[in-house]
């Protein structure tokens, strides 16, 4: 994961563990816009605007990798 631009996420306030979790969700095809706790999904819609934008930027930056 070191070759991924995780700084996009951490610069927006995500911890390293949270950034790693976002990557794992992407790898596993988990819908990050679903906040159901039983699925351990990231509820993007409930995040502050900076973090939502960071996830969108990160997704665009790594789209070809996944």
Q: What number of other Cβ atoms are within 10 A of residue 37's Cβ?
A: 7
Q: Tokens 């306030």 label which residue?
A: 13
Q: Look up the pTM and report it.
A: 0.79
Better-predicted residue by pLDDT, 21 or 2: 21
The pLDDT value given to residue 36: 57
Question: For 20-57, how does the pLDDT look when each residue is reduced to its tens digit (9 = 90+)?
Answer: 988 988 888 876 665 555 556 677 888 999 999 999 99
DSSP for 30-56?
--TT---GGGT---GGGS-HHHHHHHH
Predicted confidence at residue 2, as pLDDT, reads: 57
Helix axes 49-62, 16-28, angle to 10 degrees: 50
């Amino acid at each position: 994961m070191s070759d991924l631009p995780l700084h996009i996420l951490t610069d927006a306030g995500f911890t390293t563990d949270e950034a790693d979790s976002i990557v794992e969700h992407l790898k596993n095809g988990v819908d990050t816009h679903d906040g159901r706790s039983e699925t351990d999904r990231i509820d993007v819609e409930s995040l502050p605007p900076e973090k939502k934008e960071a996830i969108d930027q990160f997704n665009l930056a790594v789209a070809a990798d996944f």
